[in-house]
Each structure stands twice: as structure tokens, then as C-alpha cells.
Amino acid sequence: MKGYVHVYTGNGKGKTTAALGLAIRAAGAGMRVYIAQFVKGMHYSELDSLDRYADTITLKQYGRDCFIDKEPEPEDTQAARKGLEEVKAVLASGDYQMLILDEANIATRYNLFAPEELIDLIRSKPESMELVITGRNADPRVIAMADLVTEMREIKHYYNDGVQARAGIET
């Protein structure tokens, strides 16, 4: 089966959620999935949920705290670079049929690694692997290389009314 490149981007909610839903669908079909979460190092409820799929879904975080409201620190770059190296090994291993690079677009936006390095990953994707890249501000070259691009557009959000992130919904 031919694998395609998906990009979920835009300023709206749901990019990671869409990718995780696809991971669960793939696991249900017997596919092995590797999820690399860049920028994220905090505990999210999906970590607990995906424990149930430990035989088919591997999730690793390559981030620390959320730095989006400030400049990244050297440790943020080190975590992302470690993830990038591990993802290269995953690509070469042949052990997974789906690779999800969650928030990789954010990682390139904040120069944790270069967009060209993400483009190199896309180019090195095995023919049969499904590759999913999420995060706001996708580089136009990444969009051009993708087979499927979905832009999540925020029209209205309860954050604007002061609602904080809720367990099971946003965290």
C-alpha cells in the first residue's frame, strides 16, 4: 500500500486530535504507529488513553514545558533535536507503517530544527509509510510536498471568553 503525507495546520483547534484519531484507526487496522510529539513535554490525557494501545502505538515526547508565550531555551532545542534523530531511526527501521510528527511545524517555526530538515524527513519517507505532520504555520514547502493538507481555522473559541484548558478536552 502506498503511504501519503498529511499536513494538519492552521490556527484552529483539532490538529493533534485529528492525528491521534488517525493513529487509533491505523492501530485498529493492525498498523504500528510512532507518534513523536515535538515541543510537548507535559502530561496530556491522550498519554493515558494511548497506554491501551501500547502494543501498536508508541508515543514519545520531545519537549519540556510549553514555551509558546516566550522564546525557546537551549534545552527546548536539545529535546527537539533528540527527537529528530530518533525519528530518523524510526524512518529507517521499517518497524512502523505510520509516523506522526506532532507539532513539527511549530518546531520549525521556532527554529528548534530547520524546515529543510523536516523536508529531508519527508523525502526519506519509505514509500509505504503514512506520514502525518501537525502544527500551526506549516512551511509552504512542506505544504507543497504533502498529498493531503487540512487547515483548521478558528472561527470562534471559548478561550476568548476566559475558559481555561479542560481535562479530557484540551489537556
pLDDT digits (tens, 9 = 90+) for 88-142: 999 999 999 999 999 999 999 999 999 999 999 999 999 999 999 999 999 999 9
**Is 167 part of any domain?**
no
- The answer as to whether 123 is a domain residue is yes
50 SS3 class: helix
User: Would you place residue 47 in the very low, low, confident or very high pLDDT band (cuts 50, 70, 90)?
Assistant: confident
Cell numbers found for residue 104: 513539527
Query: When comparing pLDDT for 163 and 26, which is higher?
Result: 26
Tally of domains within the chain = 1
User: What pLDDT does residue 69 have?
Assistant: 65
Residue 22: exposure state from Cβ atoms within 10 A (0-12, 13-18, ≥19) = middle
User: Does the residue 35 lie in any domain?
Assistant: yes
Residue 169 lies in a domain: no
| Per-residue pLDDT band at 44 (split at 50, 70, 90) | confident
- Establish if 168 belongs to a structural domain: no
Residue 75 and residue 34: Cα distance in Å, rounded? 23
Residue 159 binned pLDDT confidence (cut-offs 50, 70, 90): confident
Residue 150 has pLDDT above 80, yes or no: yes
Res 17 pLDDT > 80: yes
38/102 Cα distance (integer angstroms): 6
For residues 81 and 74, the answer to whether their CB atoms sit within 8 Å is no
Please indicate whether residue 8 or residue 43 has the higher confidence score (pLDDT): 8
Percent of the chain topping pLDDT 90? 75
User: Which of 55, 20, 26 lies closest to 40 in space, CA to CA?
Assistant: 20
Q: What's the full length of the chain, in residues?
A: 171
Q: Are 118 and 108 spatial neighbours (Cβ–Cβ below 8 Å)? A: yes
Read off the CATH number of the domain in which 62 is found.
3.40.50.300
Res. 155 pLDDT band, cuts 50 70 90: confident
Distances (CA, A) of 17 to 62, 103, 160: 18, 12, 20
151 domain residue, yes or no: yes
pLDDT at position 129: 98
> Would residue 166 count as lying in a domain?
no
- Give the Cα separation of 31 and 99 in Å (integer): 11
The boundaries of the domain holding residue 48 are 5-161
Q: Report pLDDT for 63.
A: 92
pLDDT score at 66? 65
User: Residue 55 has which C-alpha cell?
Assistant: 502494543
Residues 29-50 have a mean pLDDT of: 91
**136/104 Cα distance (integer angstroms):** 9
Helix (H) or strand (E) holding 163: none
103: in domain: yes
- Mean pLDDT on 45-66: 89
